[in-house]
Amino acid sequence: MNMKTKFIAFALLFSVSSAFAQKAKIQTAYNYFKYEQLDKAKEAIDEAAVNDGSMNIDKTWYYRGLIYEQIYNSDKFKDLAPNALEVAYLSYKKVLEVDPKSEFKDEIEKRLTYVKIDFFNKAVESFKVKDYASALTNFEYVLKITPEDSSANLYAAYSAERGKNNAKAIEHYQKIISMKEDAAAVYRSLAILYKVEKDTSRALFTLQDGRKKFPDDLDLMLAEINIYLPQGKNKEAIDLLNAAIAKDSKNASLYFALGATYDGMGNAKDAANNNLAKPDDRKELLSKAKDAYQKAIEDKPDYFEANYNLGALYFNQAAEMLSTINEIKDPKLYAAAKQNVDAVFNQSQPYLEKALELNPNDHDTLLSLKQLYFRQNSMDKYYKVKDKLDAQGK
């Protein structure tokens, strides 16, 4: 045998010997694993996972998954690998990449079920301590194993939403809806996220889509109303408010919103808060506003906003009437008209006084009462509210 032949034979022998050594390393890792010497098992299997002679063997990755899964669940060895659960998952997945027909295929499905449970529990613990980014990461590992897990999708959405990761929250809420596992709250949460992202049209579409499936859900109605009102879509808002009141007839907030909508329609203003032309049906609109405010107060007597708005409505109505009677020349007619004006001013008093009782330092309430008491010549009351206003420096 010449020197060249001897060298080739030696190299071949070395290669076979090296490959055998790496396969032996796999078995060594498993033996350490069996005797719970996880530190040594980890060292051996990590070496096998990067060596050319063993990195393409399915058993390497199966044992690596077992070892790292055990490390994750070991109080003694868990500090060896803070990412042990992720490594276990990736190792099990690698088995089938290396050999799709691996003898460990059925066992891998079982192991991934256990890993999924560990990811879910880990995510829940992160969620409890408000580590929402970690919670989202771990719920998404659950979804890598079982993409159609509705609970994991929902909790992933919650985690993303609380962690201000709106894009991920939207993605998971959309997934839940596409799975037909949705609830009314999912549509509402998704719509809120779209509003935060300033996509009002999609928020409205989401709510309307939700109401097709849950037509009687009050929260969806309210969310839709809250989109219509700032847009000035008063008719749509009123229709929905009346529908919502039919579902919840003791909800003072609904009556207040209805009153404020009619009030705004009767006293329309432009973007610069300038008065617009009065609508032809203004008297009817303001009458409906009064009725709605009154209903809100009946259901909730300590409702500051409803008391103030109703008082202000009467006060402003009287002020408008006052500006017109100055043109009356006949003394008797003027006296009768003034009596009517005073009666409307007086109607505002109990509501404004109740508003002040509920919010003693409200500037607008104090200002209205100051003018009212001066008109009534109630000077004791006048000076009390004047002193409060003076103290406010406004």
Q: What is the CATH number of the domain that holds 325?
A: 1.25.40
Span 136-147, average pLDDT: 96
**pLDDT number for residue 134:** 97
User: With helix as H, strand as E and coil as C, how does 295-350 read?
Assistant: HHHHHCCCCHHHHHHHHHHHHHHHHHHHHHHCCCCCHHHHHHHHHHHHHHHHHHHH
Which of 297, 329, 356 is at the close of a domain? 297
Instruction: Say yes or no: 354 and 277 in one domain.
Output: no
For residue range 235-280, list pLDDT tens digits in order.
999 999 998 899 899 999 999 999 999 998 888 776 667 777 888 8
Quote the pLDDT of residue 361. 92
Is the same domain home to 287 and 310?
no
Average pLDDT over residues 46-54: 85
Q: How far apart are CA 186 and CA 156, in angstroms?
A: 12
pLDDT at 12: 44
Task: Note whether residue 122 is domain-resident.
Answer: no
Same domain, 320 and 379: yes
Task: Find out whether 344 and 317 touch, Cβ atoms under 8 Å.
Answer: yes
Residues 337, 273 share a domain? no
Is position 112 within any domain? no
Residue 269, beta-bridge partner list: 275
How many domains does the chain contain in total? 2
For residues 335 and 386, membership in a common domain is answered with yes
Residue 214 lies in a domain: no
What's the rounded Cα separation, in Å, for the pair 129 and 137? 15
Closest CA to 357 of 369, 345, 342, 347: 369
The alpha carbon torsion through 305, 310, 314, 319 (nearest 10 deg) reads 20
Q: Residue 307's pLDDT is what? A: 97
Whether the pLDDT of residue 373 is over 50: the answer is: yes
Structure token pair of residue 226: 């809250």
Same domain for 386 and 334? yes
16 lies in a domain?
A: no
Confidence of residue 10 (pLDDT cuts 50, 70, 90): very low
d(CA 156, CA 161): 8
Per the model's pLDDT, the better-predicted residue between 328 and 104 turns out to be 104
pLDDT at 6: 47
Q: Tell me the average pLDDT across 381-388.
A: 94
Q: Does the pLDDT at position 394 exceed 70? A: no
- Residues 314 and 365 both lie in one domain: yes
The answer on 335 and 323 residing in a single domain is yes
Question: Is 82 within a domain?
Answer: no
Q: Is the dihedral of CA 33, 35, 36, 39 positive or negative?
A: negative
Residue 16 has pLDDT above 50, yes or no: no
310: in domain: yes
**pLDDT score recorded for residue 218:** 83
Whole-angstrom Cα Rg for the chain: 37
Q: What range defines the domain where residue 279 resides?
A: 250-297
Range in 70-84, 218-232, 263-277 with the lowest mean pLDDT: 263-277
Separation of alpha carbons 215 and 204, rounded Å:
15
Give domain status of residue 279, yes or no: yes
Q: Could you tell me the pLDDT band of residue 11, with boundaries at 50, 70 and 90?
A: very low
Q: Are residues 326 and 370 in the same domain?
A: yes
Q: Which of 281, 297, 313 is the last residue of a domain?
A: 297
Give the pLDDT confidence score for residue 310 in this predicted structure.
96
User: Of the candidates 297, 312, 331, which is a domain's last residue?
Assistant: 297
288 Cβ partners below 8 Å, 6+ apart?
Answer: 258, 259, 262
- Within a domain: 11: no
Q: What is the pLDDT of residues 284-338, one digit of tens each?
A: 999 999 999 999 999 999 999 999 999 999 999 999 888 888 788 888 888 898 8
CA distance to 77, 99, 219, per residue, from 48 (Å): 20, 17, 57
The predicted pLDDT at position 13 comes to 42
Distance CA 9, CA 322 (A): 117
pTM over 0.75: no
* One domain, residues 292 and 306: no
Whether 362 and 378 map to the same domain: the answer is yes
Q: Is residue 95 scored above 90 in pLDDT?
A: yes
pLDDT score of 31: 83
CA 360 to chain centre: 35
Burial class (CB in 10 A: 0-12, 13-18, 19+), 4: exposed
Given this model, what pLDDT does residue 7 score? Answer: 45
Residues 331, 266 share a domain = no
Given a contact cutoff of 8 angstroms between Cβ atoms, the answer to whether 62 and 92 are in contact is yes
CA separation for the pair 223, 212 (Å, rounded): 14
Report pLDDT digits (tens) over 177-197: 999 877 899 999 999 999 999
User: Average pLDDT of the chain?
Assistant: 89
Q: Is the pLDDT of residue 9 over 60?
A: no
**pLDDT for res 21:** 54
| Residue 275: strand pairing partners | 269
